[in-house]
Structures are given as C-alpha cells and as structure tokens.
Amino acid sequence: MKKIIIGFILVFLGLSSFSQREFKGGILLGGVTSQISGDGLGGWDKFGYTGGAWVNAPLNEKFGLNISMKYITKGSRTKQDTLTFNSFGFYLNYIDVPVMLTYDMQRKQSKFTISIGPYIGILLKQEMKINGASYDVNPAFRKQDIGGQLGFAWWPTEKLFFELDMATSVVPTRPAPAVVNKNSYYEQGNYNQVLQLLMGIRFGGKAKSE
C-alpha cells in the first residue's frame, strides 16, 4: 500500500513539472459525518474529524491536479437508546490520499472550485464499541478503502477556502456479515460513505516550477 501512495506522489510530481503556472499548497482541517452502507445501522450519526495537507499543480487556466494526504475518522454508530442507554458503533481511522481533477470558476470577487477523482485510504485502527466498551471487529475491515470523491470549494480570499466533500467506497471495505440478495451491490459488503466540511489555508505566494 505504501508503494501505491508513493506512486501517486511521483505521478503528481511528474505532471506538475510540466506546469509553468502557479504551484499551490497548504493545510486543511474540518468535521466529518459518516455511515457504513450495508452494516444495517443506517443514518449519518457518526461524527469525527479530519486534517492534513494538500498540493495543487495547475494544468491550464481552469484545470489543475490536486493531491492531499489527510488523517480521517470514519465509521457508523447508532443513536443511544433513551430508554436502555444502549449504543453500538464501528470506529475506523484512516490515512486518505485523494487525487483530484479540479476546475476553477471565477464569479465576481470569489472563486469556486469543483473537484472529482479517486481516493485510496489505509486503515490505521478499527474497533467496535458496544455501550462504550471496545471489541474486536469480526469480520474485520480490509486494510484499504478505495473509492471516489466529489468536492465543492468556495474561496472568499486567495488564501482561504471552505469545502464540502462527498466520498464513498467503490470496493467493499469489509465482507458482508450476511447476504440476503446476492444480486444487490450494497449487500456484497460494507462501504464507507463520508461527508466532510473543511476549511483550508493556502501557504506562500506564487511559486513556479522549473
């Protein structure tokens, strides 16, 4: 899996070397709400956080290639029963590496960016919690999460942006504990689904690649 991430970075650096335009980078952080399709729990009741760094290499005036590496919490949980106070949830920690094609739109004094592309996640930790107690997950989640991501960003200034990202696994992250309909895509396994509300900061001024 490390080789895949290194490959992504090398591809990005190779493409960015062709760019004679502004080379951008910075940090981002934000909140996350998630669920796991196919786990039988339902609802966006698992809240968490994410943070990391990003770099963007413009390909032309409108399009660019963006790569980021971020720590992110995913999973799902039930709302606590107000009568029995029972709770249940999956708690998953990942390093995600999205590789996104970006498109910039200028509207008056603000800039908007649409991004789309694949991501790969490496599972760092997994646990199942029942009434606050931790247990091993069986069957366990796979070590990688492969999916797609769509994002919408608003830049009120040249240095600051706010972004809403929607991401979902396209390959099951965990074997299905039980399959009722073998022809159902969502019963082939569990799929992470994540909404991210981010704030990002761009560092530095204009820096052109050689």
- Domains of the chain, start order: 2-202 (2.40.160.20)
Highest mean pLDDT among 1-15, 107-121, 155-169: 155-169
Check whether 96 has a pLDDT greater than 80.
yes
Eight-state DSSP code of residue 81: P
Q: Give mean pLDDT, residues 21-38.
A: 87
Average confidence score pLDDT of the chain: 83
**CA atoms lying within 13 Å on the CB side of residue 197:** 4
- Name the strand (E) or helix (H) holding 6: helix 2-16
Rg (CA), the chain: 19
* Res 2: pLDDT: 58
pLDDT 10s digits, 42-65: 678 899 999 999 998 888 889 999
With a CB cutoff of 8 Å and minimum separation 6, the contacts of 125 are: 91, 92, 93
Structure-model confidence comparison of residues 19 and 195, the more confident one: 195
* Res 210: pLDDT: 37
